[in-house]
């Protein structure tokens, strides 16, 4: 009888353990699994129109924001050793490019599981203008580009922005004349200048009452002509900021 009771107890204990184990498995199985290709940001990120810091900012996402990974680019702007960029969709409907470095994806200069390459991003007129302007940072004079005669950049701000958009000359006598023309056509805007925009300043003694114009990089930086072409802040010209405009619609771009 003892043996039977002992045996019965063991069977009951084993059955209970099995039941508990099964319940545990069911509880674990009941946990929702993350969808394939769903990750999150690890810092507040700028969402851009393409896979480089040269592309315009179209929004932002806070740290910890979930997103669906659509595809990836290799060879974008290198961020701390990682040149992978992700095309993502956020829950609020925003779709754009973010640096993979600031995400929970397992990729590092490679594709995440079940993810392929994104198609190339076409280059906009504004992107080509900024690419050119960045390429001449540090230069003090033109080099005959676009058939224009060689001359110093200093004092030729309107000519500089025209060059960025593929024209040997702007067609205006001064930056303030350029501003007035665009303003008369309803093309001047207030507020923060977006990527590639012409950013205008009032006529003032510091600019010979000719006004000033420079190119916005869309992130608080601007590229301007000076003794050398340089990257500056909005306050650099020492004159009143009076508005921005996209380059003249007639300018084809590079």
Determine the structural domain holding residue 26 and report its residue range: 1-31
pLDDT at 178 over 50: yes
Give me the pLDDT at residue 37, please.
82
pLDDT at 21 over 60: no
Give me the pLDDT at residue 11, please.
34
Phi, psi angles (nearest 5°) of residue 94 = -70, 130
User: Residue 251 falls within a domain, yes or no?
Assistant: no
**Which contiguous run of DSSP H or E holds residue 13?**
helix 2-29
Phi, psi angles (nearest 5°) of residue 131 = -60, -45
Is the domain of 20 the same as that of 45?
Answer: no
Query: Which tokens hold the place of 57?
Result: 């900012």
Render the burial of 221-236: b for 16+ CB within 10 Å, e for the rest.
Answer: ebbbbbeebbbeeeee
Is the domain of 20 the same as that of 48?
Answer: no
Is the domain of 10 the same as that of 53?
Answer: no
Residue 121 — pLDDT band, cuts 50, 70, 90? confident
Residue 36 — pLDDT band, cuts 50, 70, 90? low
- Our measurement of the distance from residue 157's CA atom to the centroid of its chain's CA atoms, rounded to an integer in Å, reads 26
**Tally of structural domains, the chain:** 3
Is the domain of 12 the same as that of 86?
Answer: no
Mean pLDDT of 44-57: 83
Residue 253 — pLDDT band, cuts 50, 70, 90? confident
141 near 151, Cβ under 8 Å? yes
Mean pLDDT of 165-172: 94
Question: Coil, helix or strand for 242?
Answer: strand
Is the domain of 208 the same as that of 224?
Answer: yes
Is the domain of 143 the same as that of 211?
Answer: yes
Mean pLDDT of 192-209: 95
Query: Which tokens hold the place of 35?
Result: 């969808």
User: Residue 89 falls within a domain, yes or no?
Assistant: yes
């Amino acid at each position: 009888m003892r043996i039977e009771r002992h045996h019965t107890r063991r069977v009951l204990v084993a059955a209970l353990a099995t039941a508990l184990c099964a319940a545990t498995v069911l509880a674990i199985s009941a946990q929702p699994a993350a969808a394939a290709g769903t990750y999150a940001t690890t810092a507040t990120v700028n969402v851009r129109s393409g896979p480089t810091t040269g592309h315009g900012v179209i929004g932002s996402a806070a740290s910890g924001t979930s997103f669906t990974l659509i595809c990836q680019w290799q060879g974008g702007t290198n961020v701390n050793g990682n040149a992978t960029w992700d095309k993502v969709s956020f829950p609020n409907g925003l779709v754009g490019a973010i640096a993979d470095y600031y995400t929970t994806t397992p990729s590092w200069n490679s594709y995440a599981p079940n993810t392929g390459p994104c198609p190339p991003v076409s280059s906009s007129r504004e992107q080509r203008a900024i690419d050119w302007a960045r390429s001449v940072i540090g230069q003090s004079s033109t080099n005959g580009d676009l058939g224009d005669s060689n001359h110093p950049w200093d004092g030729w701000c309107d000519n500089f922005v025209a060059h960025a958009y593929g024209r040997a000359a702007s067609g205006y006598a001064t930056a303030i004349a350029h501003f007035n023309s665009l303003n008369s056509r309803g093309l001047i805007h207030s507020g923060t200048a977006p990527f590639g925009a012409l950013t205008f300043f009032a006529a003032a003694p510091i600019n010979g009452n000719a006004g000033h114009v420079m190119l916005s990089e869309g992130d608080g930086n601007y590229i301007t002509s000076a003794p050398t072409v340089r990257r500056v802040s909005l306050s650099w010209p020492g004159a009143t900021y009076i508005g921005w405009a996209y380059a003249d619609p007639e300018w084809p771009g590079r």
